Structure 1
Amino acid sequence: MDGASSSTDDCEAKATMMKKDSDCAKKQAHQDDIFDQLGSFGCFQHRVLPLFCLCNTFAALQYMAITFMEYTPAHRCILPTYSNNTGSSQPQHVFRYGTVNESDIHITLSRTNSERNPCNDVSNMSDVSRERDARCNSWVYDKTLFKETYPTEFNLVCDDASKVTMTTLMFLIGAAAGNVWIGFLSDRVGRQIALGIALLLECAAGMSAAFAPSPTAAMVFRFFLGACSSGSYTTSFAFGMEVIGSKKRMLVGIIMHFSFAFGSCLISGIAYAFRHWRHIQIAISAPLFLMAVYTWFIPESLRWLLSKGYKKEAARVALRIAKENGCHIESTDALFREPEPVSVRKRTRDIPKELCQTPRLLLCMVILSVNWAILESTWYGIGLNTGNLGGSIFLNFFLLSLMEFPAVCVVFTINRFGRKVPFVSSMVLCGIFCLSVIFVELYMGVDDPSSNWIRVALSVGAKLFISVAYNIVYIWGAELYPTVMRTVGMAISIMVAKIGTLLAPVIVRELNYSGYFKDKSTLPLVIFGGMSVLGGLSSLLLQETANKPLRQTITEMHKKCTSLPVKDTCDVKLNGEFGSHTEKQTLSEGYSDGDNAKTTANLL
């Protein structure tokens, strides 16, 4: 009896989810038909799409500018009695405070270069046998690359170096919070108002951060800047997808991803042009005010208005879009007449309880979430590690950012090659590129110019493959979770991934590399490489989802966690608009390439 009851419950749950999916599919298809009549990619879309792309570009600028604004150059204790304390005039070794003659500048201390600490001075230079370290509280910095950076202006080095990392963490924590509260605001008051508010606050927070009088104030402003930039990115992406017809949605999704990659490349040129952290912050924040003003000339999302039942406002917006696209519609009443919904008996599920009772789904969630955290940490950490590489930080970061473009194009191939093989291969290859710096460390000197270019080339290769995996995981993750908990599961995985992002600046800046490697850039790459290999191998336990039907219920995780065909058939009666019929659903049935391509486009 228990087995029969369980089977009946499973079939009822499947019937419920199939009916709900049928309603959602009908509503989505109906809204796509509306845009086909209004113009799916006409003059209106051409006018508003640049704003959404600019939102993505400026979000990338805010994220990536940290690498340059928080760059810590070479530094040493200042010489109070020496007349010229600018960077190039200072000796390369540590001096004591007191009277320093011109001849003292070239004095050679008994310590080796590796033992000298830029945080200490020598308290007794006259007697080498009695010299001892003493902490200094003022420094001189190498101004070759930047006139002023955030650490140099506030002397955030030595004992205060952790404040730089804390500022980065505040920005990233704000970014995680912004996804929630701006997203909530977008669903409550509309896309247009939420995007305008997010851009206006992002401009205010960015300009305030540019004029921050202290590190504490900078941390506060950076928190709000992270929240608003992240919120404007997610809202503009959703807004952009909602104003486009179904036929062009994949193309627009790729364009918006490219706009983020373009921002990553552009920040190198902006930092190269200004060379002062406050000027860089102003340059990437001031234009946001004009973008916020422009949002008031864009109508509200037609799909959002229909979802909230605001049909009068939706009719006004529809007529405006049709006029701008050169389309003629006689009546909006017929345009907004929705198909009759399927009657569904609501059934509530205790998802957390069932999750604990389904170890396979729980294992899937853990593996996916850990891999997502590794992806976030490695992807962001490789970019931050650019400041530790030798050579031009501007050119190095530009080369890394260029890898985003080919990585996005790989999305077009995953319907043919699947999700698992490209993802695992990309993760493992990223790890191999990162771990290869060990051989550079062992067989080439730190001062060898060619060794630096090899490190840069390995970092570029690692960034390419981690970006490929990053683009795949969003699609694969959404397909791995059953429909009843897809939104909850994705939210949990993304929140865990944000923890990985927080680890990146700690790994790059706070770990002491001197006891392990000679070059500062080696240890972070080794850690990222090891995590990538382990994450990629662990993802072999996940199921391939390409060209297969999406699972509907949690119970299906009990019966199918491998790629082996397992049939489970239920007779489900659907009372749709075409009459009553019986449909047999077989879990081992596959989707066609065309259907799966539509799924990929919707996820993008």
Structure 2
Amino acid sequence: MEEKKKDINLDSVLESLGPYSRYNLLNFMLLLFPVLLSSFFECGFIFEAQAQNYRCKVPACEDYNDTSWLQYAIPINPKTEKLETTLRYVAISGTVCGPAAFSNVTERCDSFVYEEGRSLVKEFDLGGQEWKRVLVGTVHNSGMFASMLVTGAVSDRFGRRVAVGIAAMSSFIFGVIRAFSPNFLTYMSMHFFEAALGGGLYPSAYVFAVELVGLKQRVIVSAACNMTFVIGVVILALLAWLIDNWRTYILVMYTPALIVALYVWFMNESARWLISKGRMSEAIKTLQAAAKINNMDPRQLELYSLSNPLLTSDNQTVDKSSQFSKALRSSIIWKRLFVCSFLWLTCSLVYYGLSINSVSLSSNKYISFMIVVLVEIPAYIVVVIVLDKYGRKRVILVNYVICAATSILFAFLPRSDYWSIPLYLVGKWCVTLTYSSVYIYVSEVFPTSMRQTLISFCSTAGRIGSLIAPLTPLLTEYHKSMPTVLFGGMCLISSLLVILLPETRNITLPDTIEEAEELSRKKSKAIDR
């Protein structure tokens, strides 16, 4: 049976409950904690498998307290002006360590000496195998890529609460197992499974939180999630700075996920999701429970809800197979899915591409990382103001253009300490604001019945960007400006594609395919409430 026209929108009911009431504030706290943890799980590998200083081992000379022999035993790399990490001079047998102890012929190293510390590179003896260390990030992002497809299906089929619970428990199980990995192969396998089964923690918690409020609070809730994520990344950098042992570092990151996996089952399911699945009686119970917590009269809320056919009878259900088939036949949904996926891919590529080189901004890589991350907080504050004032499309378009301009200027203008870093940070600020805006926008243009699935598809496209980003430094072998030119070009293309999308400012979340299509068939009109 087709869904009947709604007399009262769910957003009105949510407004009557109070967007920042006791019930919602409690749920926000419970959902922001997994958002915080997701920043550990998504970015933890950056420090978990960070580069380690090492050199070739020279067996004949290692017992000497004086290391002056190093200049004769190991050649200097002309690019870095440091000792080579994989080459040494062939030793002449029978001579004492010194200038005459080595020939001018080099050979590949078969063993290495590492700097102090309990690093992954040192423990698994990855010296001379840099590709294995870099592969950690690739495997992690590959797992995240797979998780986006699984998470959307689980969330839309079984509920937001189930998706959060499964992701949290998977992160805990495979994260802790990874901390006790006996070898590199086991470590990589656990890394993939942890990301593939637990990588949906952030999008699941995000959608859950957004669906708790009406249209006027969506931007604020989204910004709160994003700022919580940033705070988590800063805490992550501090943990990496303080914890020298990579196994302890992993345990500290992943153990708290067990708390989320336990308490999420005591939370009420999203009323909006329940309604989209035709489970009206459960939705009414959820809303009545919220009213009780807020010290409201549940009977008053029930009477208010009874005027809405969607909230009164389990017979008024949405034909799920019909909705799915309509989505497949809808050229509007397909076009929107393609454009939103490309926007997400661009944001991910540029965001992570700029972040990769952040460690070079100062001598302390942890401080550099935190500086580039902290610049995101003002962006999340500004996004709350500008999205509702100027609209989604205008904000996204303008920031894509500015990011493109800063990237291209950074590529072709001569480097200077006076403007290079500020320009770099402006670019990161703009792409962060755009990323946050796109996340909000995508959640508004797709229907509730398929929202998580379609958001996950777009997020999967974003994972392609995060997979490509670590490879962009290789482009400098052809021209030093190619990475930033690529970023600028992608931003320009995205700014043009934004024009094809509808404005969603002050428009209630669409619940069906028909409502989502209607956004493109009429001019956007602000709804005064």
TM-score w.r.t. length of structure 2 = 0.79
- Counterpart-to-counterpart distance in 1, 2:504 and 2:278: 35
- Name the CA shift for 1:421/1:316 in 2 (closer, same or farther; >3 Å): closer
Q: Pick from 90, 102, 108: which aligns with 1:123?
A: 90
Q: How does 1:101-500 map to 2 (within 5 A)?
A: 104-107=69-72, 113-114=78-79, 117-124=84-91, 131-143=104-116, 147-158=117-128, 160-245=129-214, 247-310=216-279, 313-314=282-283, 316-330=285-299, 334=303, 336-337=305-306, 339-340=308-309, 369-408=341-380, 409-410=382-383, 412-414=385-387, 416-417=389-390, 422-434=395-407, 456-474=421-439, 493-500=458-465
Is contact 1:205-1:221 (8 Å) kept?
A: yes
- Counterpart-to-counterpart distance in 1, 2:406 and 2:172: 38
- Counterpart-to-counterpart distance in 2, 1:419 and 1:39: 25
- Counterpart-to-counterpart distance in 2, 1:188 and 1:590: 31
Give the 3-state SS of the residue equivalent to 1:175 in structure 2.
helix
Deviation at 1:413, TM superposition (A): 1.8
Give the 3-state SS of the residue equivalent to 1:330 in structure 2.
helix
- Counterpart-to-counterpart distance in 1, 2:181 and 2:300: 55
Q: Pick from 469, 472, 485: which aligns with 1:504?
A: 469
Aligned to 2:26: 47
- Return the letter of the residue paired with 1:155: D
| Count of residues in correspondence between the two structures | 507
TM-score w.r.t. length of structure 1 = 0.70
- Counterpart-to-counterpart distance in 2, 1:456 and 1:248: 35
- Counterpart-to-counterpart distance in 1, 2:338 and 2:227: 30
Give the 3-state SS of the residue equivalent to 2:110 in structure 1.
coil
Deviation at 1:467, TM superposition (A): 1.1
Aligned to 2:489: 534
Unaligned runs of 5+ in 2: 93-98, 311-315
Is contact 1:548-1:589 (8 Å) kept?
A: no
Is contact 1:268-1:397 (8 Å) kept?
A: yes
Kindly report the root-mean-square deviation, in angstroms, between the aligned alpha carbons of the 2 structures: 4.5
Aligned to 1:64: 43
Unaligned runs of 5+ in 1: 1-18, 90-100, 445-450, 518-522, 558-571, 573-584, 599-604
- Counterpart-to-counterpart distance in 1, 2:306 and 2:379: 42
- Name the CA shift for 1:68/1:483 in 2 (closer, same or farther; >3 Å): closer
Which is further off, 334-343 or 36-45?
Answer: 334-343
Is contact 1:375-1:532 (8 Å) kept?
A: no
Deviation at 1:123, TM superposition (A): 1.1
- Return the letter of the residue paired with 1:136: C
- Counterpart-to-counterpart distance in 1, 2:182 and 2:421: 36
Deviation at 1:185, TM superposition (A): 2.4
Identity %: 22
Deviation at 1:249, TM superposition (A): 3.8
Measured against aligned partners, the alpha-carbon deviations of 1:93-150 in whole angstroms (never above 9, x if no partner) come to xxxxxxxx7552454878664386311111146669952221113223344xxx2333
Aligned to 2:95: none
- Name the CA shift for 1:35/1:390 in 2 (closer, same or farther; >3 Å): closer
Q: Pick from 80, 89, 97: which aligns with 2:59?
A: 80
Which is further off, 301-310 or 121-130?
Answer: 121-130
- Name the CA shift for 1:112/1:301 in 2 (closer, same or farther; >3 Å): closer
Which is further off, 400-409 or 485-494?
Answer: 485-494
- Return the letter of the residue paired with 1:466: V
Deviation at 1:72, TM superposition (A): 0.5
- Return the letter of the residue paired with 1:121: R
- Name the CA shift for 1:55/1:252 in 2 (closer, same or farther; >3 Å): same
- Counterpart-to-counterpart distance in 2, 1:367 and 1:438: 27
Is contact 1:174-1:223 (8 Å) kept?
A: yes
- Name the CA shift for 1:179/1:477 in 2 (closer, same or farther; >3 Å): closer
- Counterpart-to-counterpart distance in 1, 2:442 and 2:269: 30
Which is further off, 463-472 or 396-405?
Answer: 463-472
Is contact 1:373-1:498 (8 Å) kept?
A: yes
- Counterpart-to-counterpart distance in 2, 1:455 and 1:531: 18
- Return the letter of the residue paired with 2:54: H
Q: Which structure is larger by alpha-carbon Rg, 1 or 2?
A: 1
Measured against aligned partners, the alpha-carbon deviations of 1:354-407 in whole angstroms (never above 9, x if no partner) come to 85xx9xx86x87666444323211212322333455511111111111122222
Measured against aligned partners, the alpha-carbon deviations of 1:152-195 in whole angstroms (never above 9, x if no partner) come to 3223343x222223221222122222223233223333333332
